[in-house]
Amino acid sequence: MKKLEMIHSDLHKVIKNVVNWKLVGDISAAENELTKMNTISSEIVGLLDNLSKV
C-alpha cells in the first residue's frame, strides 16, 4: 500500500510538470512528461489489480 501511495504522489508531480511545460509553451517537454504519466498510470493499475486479488 505504501508503494501505491508513493507512485500516486509521483503521478501528481508529473501531471504538474505537464501543465507547467504546456504553460511555458514547451510541448516536447510536456509530451515527455505525458509518457512518464502513462507509465506511472499503468503501474498504479497493476498495483490496484493486485490489491483486488488479495
Cell of 23: 504553460
Number of domains in the chain: 1
Judge whether 53 lies within some domain.
no
Judge whether 51 lies within some domain.
no
Judge whether 49 lies within some domain.
no
Closest to 5 (Cα-Cα) out of 33, 39, 40: 40
The pLDDT of residue 36: 97
pTM of the model: 0.84
Residues of the domain holding 13: 2-44
Residue 54 in this model has a pLDDT that exceeds 90: no
Can you give the length of the chain in residues?
Answer: 54
Judge whether 28 lies within some domain.
yes
pLDDT, tens only, 9-39: 999 999 999 999 999 999 999 999 999 999 9
Residue 52 in this model has a pLDDT that exceeds 90: no
Judge whether 50 lies within some domain.
no
The pLDDT of residue 46: 95
Judge whether 38 lies within some domain.
yes
Q: How far apart are CA 26 and CA 8, in angstroms?
A: 25
Cell of 46: 497493476
